[in-house]
Structure 1
Amino acid sequence: MTSIVLKKASAGDLETLQQIGKETFYETFAKHNSEEEMQKYLAESFSSEKLLKELNTPDSQFFIVWEEENPVGYLKINFGASQTELQDETSMEIERIYVKSSHHGKKVGQLLYDKALEIALQQQKKYIWLGVWEENKRAVSFYSKNGFTQFDKHIFRLGDEEQTDLMMKKVLE
């Protein structure tokens, strides 16, 4: 049996985050978007400069799940002004939970979500929120199972494509 370990990421994990970030985003969305738009998005969103800035932002945290020496998923959470939309001091955003498709169904996503919930409770946040693409039925089901409900929608741009994200939240009080 292999060992699964969750570790907080630091600037020293930049290349690992780039690799797992690009790989999991591509696995999740490539079949729904053009190759050109995917490559442009991956280059911009996972550039060293952008990721290093995010890693060094005090109101954001990254965690990586490792199976032995291999990264298999990651989590990014945001607080305060680092939240992508609401920026409510009483809330925490889960910006990303991504897991390699090879590890779907192996509780890696649940491990990442449980870590986010633990931090939100420690910081006495009133609710957790996130955006999830409406066509990502697996993720919508996962969040619903964990007590999230839809409260709004917003547009996510991937290149020239406009996609609808469901905004979901879980009240913690």
Structure 2
Amino acid sequence: MTLRIPTIIRSVQGEDLVSLADLAKRTFIAAFSEQNLPTDVEHYVAKAFNHTQIRSEFTKAHSHFYFAEQDVDPIGYLKLNEKTSQTESLFENALEIERIYVDSDSIGNGIGQALIDFAIGKAREAGHNWLWLGVWEENRAAVRFYKRNGFDFFGDHDFMFGETRQTDLIMRKAIMTL
């Protein structure tokens, strides 16, 4: 019988930003390197996950970062955006999941589910009507995961990933407040 280590989800603090940037780089590279050109991945990682960029996002009003930890080691993270920090103005009274990533060694251990459940709880707690996200159309496992969690397709948008045009699917979940 394998014992499962409890997952703790906690707010990222200012002193955690180096760990956050390192985890963000590592999980992004693991998730997207095989399906993309190395130059596109390198360009995106250098731009999106450098310490200055992470600090800027961390201090932005209405953006919130959370670590998923086991044995005090961050093994996943979540970035939620509200109000003016959302990357798109698609919904009234919504919470956006901008990023949700888990270390490749921990995928399949319920960490992603714990993070999505946490996000749903935060949306309910704040009285939001919608929880939404964008997911790369080629990330089939993530699309299946979000569908299992009650997200539906709402639309899409193109974006430039390095020199390559890609499409994100926009998915949303209605939030029922208690």
TM-score (normalised: structure 2): 0.92
Q: What aligned pairs does 1:1-173 form with structure 2 within 5 A after superposition?
A: 1=3, 2-86=5-89, 88-173=91-176
> CA offset at residue 110 of structure 1?
0.8
Deviations 1:48-91 (A, max 9, x none): 11111111122010001112142211000000110001264500
Aligned partners of 2:58 and 2:11: how far apart in 1?
A: 11
Instruction: Provide the secondary structure at the position in 2 that maps to 1:33.
Output: coil
Does the CA contact (< 8 Å) of 1:79 and 1:87 recur in 2?
no
Instruction: Provide the secondary structure at the position in 2 that maps to 1:52.
Output: helix
Give the letter aligned to residue 103 of structure 1: S
Give the letter aligned to residue 14 of structure 2: A
Aligned partners of 2:113 and 2:70: how far apart in 1?
A: 15
Instruction: Provide the secondary structure at the position in 2 that maps to 1:131.
Output: strand
Does the CA contact (< 8 Å) of 2:91 and 2:130 recur in 1?
no
Aligned partners of 1:101 and 1:47: how far apart in 2?
A: 21
Give the letter aligned to residue 89 of structure 2: L
RMSD (Å), alpha carbons: 1.3
Structure 2 unaligned regions, length at least 5: none
Instruction: Provide the secondary structure at the position in 2 that maps to 1:31.
Output: coil
TM-score (normalised: structure 1): 0.95
Give the letter aligned to residue 160 of structure 2: R
Structure 1 unaligned regions, length at least 5: none
Aligned partners of 2:75 and 2:24: how far apart in 1?
A: 10
Aligned partners of 1:3 and 1:117: how far apart in 2?
A: 19
Query: When the two structures are aligned, how many residues end up with a matched partner?
Result: 173
